[in-house]
C-alpha cells in the first residue's frame, strides 16, 4: 500500500508541474512561446501517463486483492484503504486503455487549441478556432473508444467527470428541472423588473482588484497557499498541496463579473485546500474531488447561496461601496441585493442569474452530445448555438465571441464537464439544507458574519473526505438521501419570491 501511494504521488508531482506551466500559459507567458509550451506540456502529460500505467501498479493492485470485479480489494483492509484501491483500480484501468502516444498528442493539440480559442474569442473569429475544436472532438471520440468501444461515446466521457453519469440519466434530472425553472421565470416575468443600471457604471480594474482581495480575505482563502491573477476566463488550478491559485476577469462596465467570479473560484480553492482524508493520503488520488459536480457545488454554494444573499451584503456592502466609490453611491442595501439577483436572460453563462444559469448548462449539454454523436458538425455549431439560445432564453448572441466561443472548456478538450455546473447547484442546495437539518443554520451564520462556521462544516463533511466516496454516496452520507433537485428549487422559489415580491 505504501509503495502504491508512492507511485501515485510521483504521478501527482508531474501533474502539478504541468499545472505550473498551464497556469503560466494562461496568465503571463509571452504569446510567441506557445509552440514550445505545447511540446513541454505534451512531454509532461506523456510522462505522467507512463507513471500511471506502470505494470507495477497493476501488480500492486492485484497483490492487494483489487480486480475489475472487486476493485476495493481485500476485505481486511481499512475502509479508507479500500476506497483508495477502488479509485486506483478505476484510474489504472482507464489509463492503461489509452496509449501514451495519444495522451501526448492530445496534450500538445490542447495547448495550441487553448491559445487559438483565446485569440478567436478576442477577434470574434470562429472559423479560426473551428479546426482546433474539430481536433478536440476527434480526440475525445478516440479516447472514448479506447475506454469502452461498446459504450456510447458521450456516456463514456460523462463518466470521467461524474462517475456513473450517462446522457439519459442526466437528461432525466435536467428535463424536469428545466420545466420548473421555466415556471419560475414565468412568475418573475409577471412582476416589475429590477433596476440594475448602477451595476453597469464604470468601475476601474484597480478598484475591482482591491474588492477581490477583500472578498478572498473574508472567505478565508489563504493567500499563503494561493494567489489571484486575471485571465480571459476565470479558473482554479492546483499546483501543489499548498499552492492552489485562482483567476478572475475584470469587466469595467460590469463589476459583478469579477466579484462573483472571484467568490466562485475561491469556493473551488477552499475545497482543494481542504482535501485530504489522512496525512498518508495527501498528494494521492484519494485527495481529489468526489466528482466535478461536487467541486462545482462548492463554488456555486459560496458564489450564490452566500455571496448573493442579503445577510452577506448587510455585513459587507458599506466597506465594499467605499472601495468602489463612487460606483455605489446612493445605492441602498435592498436595491443592491435585488440588482445582483436580477433574473433576465443573458448571453454569458458565467454572468447568468441563478434561475437561467442551468438553462445555459443544458444548452451546452445537448450540443456537446450532438457533436460527439456526429449529429452536429463543428462548422454548424454557431448556428445551432444561436437557435438553442433563442429557444431556451429568447435571445440570440450578436456574435460568436458572446456565443459559442465564450467558454474555455471545449478548447481544453473537456467534453462532458458542463453538466457538472448544474448538478453542482443541486448538490450545493442539498448540502445547505443538510446543515439546517443537523441544527446549524448557515443563513444565520452568514447574517452573523460567521462564514468560518460554514467552512468548518464543509471541511468536516465534504472537503476532508476527498474521493473516499462516490458522489452519490457522499450525498447520501452527508444529507441522508440521494441527489434531489427539490432542495434547489425550494431555495430559488423562496429567494425570488422575496426579490420580486410574489
- Max Cα-Cα span within the chain: 69
Q: How many CB atoms lie within 10 A of CB 276?
A: 18
Question: Considering 265, 272, 296, 366, which one is annotated as catalytic?
Answer: 265
Q: Which three cell numbers stand for residue 284?
A: 494521492
CA atoms within 13 A on the CB side of 348: 14
CB 303 within 8 A of CB 291: no
Strands 236-240 and 243-248: antiparallel
Helices and strands: H and E segment counts in the chain: 20, 3
CA atoms within 13 A on the CB side of 157: 29
Closest CA to 426 of 487, 358, 475, 472: 487
The residue to which cell 488520488 is assigned: 285
The residue to which cell 482524508 is assigned: 277
Query: Which helix (H) or strand (E) is 245 found in, with range?
Result: strand 243-248
How far apart CA 135 and CA 378 sit, in angstroms, is 10
Query: What are the backbone angles phi and psi of residue 217, rounded to the nearest 5°?
Result: -65, -45
Instruction: Reply yes or no: is the peptide bond before residue 326 cis, omega within 30 of 0.
Output: yes
Query: Which helix (H) or strand (E) is 324 found in, with range?
Result: none
Q: Give catalytic status of residue 296 as yes or no.
A: no
Closest CA to 464 of 277, 241, 292, 299: 277
CB 144 within 8 A of CB 452: no
Residues marked as catalytic: 265
Amino acid at each position: 500500500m505504501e509503495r502504491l501511494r508512492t507511485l501515485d504521488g510521483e504521478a501527482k508531482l508531474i501533474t502539478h508541474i504541468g499545472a505550473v506551466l498551464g497556469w503560466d500559459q494562461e496568465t503571463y507567458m509571452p504569446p510567441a512561446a506557445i509552440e514550445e509550451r505545447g511540446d513541454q506540456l505534451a512531454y509532461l502529460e506523456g510522462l505522467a501517463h507512463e507513471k500511471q500505467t506502470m505494470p507495477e501498479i497493476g501488480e500492486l493492485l492485484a497483490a492487494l486483492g483489487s480486480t475489475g470485479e472487486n476493485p476495493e480489494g481485500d476485505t481486511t483492509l481499512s475502509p479508507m484503504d479500500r476506497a483508495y484501491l477502488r479509485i486506483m483500480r478505476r484510474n489504472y484501468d482507464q489509463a492503461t486503455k489509452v496509449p501514451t502516444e495519444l495522451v501526448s498528442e492530445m496534450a500538445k493539440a490542447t495547448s495550441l487549441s487553448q491559445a487559438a480559442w483565446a485569440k478567436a474569442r478576442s477577434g470574434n473569429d470562429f472559423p479560426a478556432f473551428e479546426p482546433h475544436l474539430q481536433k478536440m472532438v476527434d480526440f475525445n471520440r478516440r479516447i472514448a473508444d479506447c475506454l469502452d468501444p461498446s459504450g456510447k461515446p458521450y456516456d463514456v466521457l460523462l463518466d470521467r467527470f461524474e462517475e456513473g453519469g450517462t446522457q439519459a440519466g442526466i437528461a432525466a434530472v435536467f428535463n424536469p428541472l428545466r420545466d420548473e425553472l421555466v415556471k419560475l421565470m414565468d412568475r418573475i416575468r409577471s412582476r416589475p423588473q429590477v433596476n440594475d443600471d448602477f451595476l453597469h457604471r464604470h468601475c476601474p480594474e484597480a478598484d475591482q482588484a482591491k474588492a477581490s482581495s477583500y472578498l478572498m480575505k473574508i472567505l478565508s482563502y489563504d493567500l499563503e497557499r494561493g494567489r489571484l491573477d486575471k485571465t480571459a476566463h476565470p479558473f482554479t488550478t492546483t499546483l501543489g498541496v499548498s499552492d492552489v491559485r485562482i483567476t478572475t476577469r475584470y469587466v469595467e462596465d460590469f463589476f459583478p463579473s469579477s466579484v462573483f467570479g472571484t467568490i466562485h473560484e475561491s469556493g473551488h480553492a477552499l475545497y482543494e485546500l481542504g482535501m485530504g482524508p489522512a496525512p498518508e493520503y495527501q498528494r494521492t488520488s484519494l485527495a481529489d474531488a468526489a466528482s466535478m459536480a461536487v467541486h462545482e457545488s462548492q463554488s456555486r454554494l459560496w458564489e450564490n447561496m452566500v455571496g448573493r444573499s442579503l445577510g452577506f451584503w448587510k455585513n459587507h456592502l458599506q466597506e465594499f461601496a467605499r472601495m468602489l466609490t463612487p460606483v455605489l453611491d446612493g445605492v441602498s442595501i435592498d436595491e443592491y441585493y435585488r440588482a445582483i439577483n436580477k433574473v433576465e436572460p443573458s448571453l454569458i453563462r458565467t454572468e447568468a442569474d441563478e434561475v437561467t444559469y442551468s438553462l445555459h448548462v443544458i444548452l451546452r449539454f445537448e450540443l456537446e452530445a450532438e457533436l460527439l454523436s456526429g449529429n452536429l458538425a463543428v462548422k454548424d455549431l454557431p448556428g445551432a448555438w444561436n437557435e438553442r439560445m433563442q429557444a431556451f432564453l429568447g435571445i440570440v448572441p450578436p456574435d460568436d465571441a458572446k456565443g459559442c466561443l465564450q467558454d474555455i472548456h471545449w478548447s481544453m478538450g473537456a467534453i462532458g464537464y458542463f453538466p457538472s455546473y448544474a448538478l453542482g447547484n443541486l448538490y450545493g442546495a442539498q448540502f445547505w439544507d443538510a446543515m439546517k437539518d443537523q441544527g446549524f443554520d448557515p443563513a444565520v451564520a452568514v447574517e452573523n458574519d460567521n462564514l468560518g462556521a460554514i467552512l468548518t462544516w464543509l471541511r468536516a463533511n465534504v472537503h476532508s473526505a476527498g474521493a473516499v466516496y462516490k458522489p452519490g454516496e457522499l450525498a447520501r452520507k452527508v444529507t441522508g438521501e440521494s441527489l434531489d433537485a427539490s432542495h434547489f428549487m425550494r431555495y430559488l422559489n423562496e429567494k425570488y419570491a422575496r426579490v420580486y415580491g410574489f
